[in-house]
Amino acid sequence: MLPTPELIDLCLQDSRLLTPRVRHLTFVRRDGLPQTFIPGQFFRVQIPSMEGPQWRSYSIANPTAPGRSDNTTIELVVTHVDGGLGSTHLFGLRHGDSIHVTGPNGRFCLLPEDAPRRLFLLGTGTGVAPYRGMLPQLQRLAESGVHVLLGLGARSPHEQLYADEFRAVAAQAAGFQLRHFHSRAMPAAPDACDRAGRVLQLFDEFDALETGDIVYLCGHPDMVDAGFERAKAAGLHPRFIRREKYQTILVPKPASSST
Ligand X SMILES: Cc1cc2nc3c(=O)[nH]c(=O)nc-3n(C[C@H](O)[C@H](O)[C@H](O)COP(=O)(O)OP(=O)(O)OC[C@H]3O[C@@H](n4cnc5c(N)ncnc54)[C@H](O)[C@@H]3O)c2cc1C
Please report, as ranges, the residues that interact with ligand X according to CB under 6 A: 42, 56-59, 77-79, 81, 83-87, 106, 126, 129, 244, 246-249
Q: Is 189 exposed, middle or buried (0-12, 13-18, 19+ CB in 10 A)?
A: exposed
Distance in Å, CB of 28 to ligand X, minimum: 18
Q: Which is nearer to ligand X, 26 or 177 (CB)?
A: 26
Distance in Å, CB of 192 to ligand X, minimum: 28
Q: Which is nearer to ligand X, 98 or 247 (CB)?
A: 247
Q: Which is nearer to ligand X, 126 or 177 (CB)?
A: 126
Pairing assessment for the beta strands 74-79 and 54-59 based on DSSP bridges? unpaired
Pairing assessment for the beta strands 176-182 and 147-154 based on DSSP bridges? parallel
**Nearest one of 102, 108, 134, 130 to 241, comparing CA atoms:** 108
Q: Which is nearer to ligand X, 77 or 163 (CB)?
A: 77
Q: Which is nearer to ligand X, 62 or 87 (CB)?
A: 87
Distance in Å, CB of 64 to ligand X, minimum: 15
Distance in Å, CB of 4 to ligand X, minimum: 20
Q: CA 130 to CA 132: how far, in whole Å?
A: 5
Distance in Å, CB of 85 to ligand X, minimum: 4
Q: Is the peptide bond before 104 cis (omega within 30 degrees of 0)?
A: yes
Distance in Å, CB of 250 to ligand X, minimum: 8
Distance in Å, CB of 87 to ligand X, minimum: 3
Q: Which is nearer to ligand X, 78 or 142 (CB)?
A: 78
**Long-range contact pairs involving 183-192 (C-beta distance under 8 Å, separation at least 24):** 183/153, 183/154, 183/155, 184/155, 184/156, 185/155, 185/156, 185/157, 186/157, 187/157
* β partners of residue 77: 24
Q: Which residue is nearest to ligand X (CB)?
A: 84
Q: Is 198 exposed, middle or buried (0-12, 13-18, 19+ CB in 10 A)?
A: middle
Could you tell me what percentage of the chain is helix, strand and coil, using 3-state DSSP and rounding each to the nearest 5?
A: 25, 30, 45
**Nearest one of 48, 53, 59, 44 to 124, comparing CA atoms:** 59
Q: Which is nearer to ligand X, 79 or 177 (CB)?
A: 79
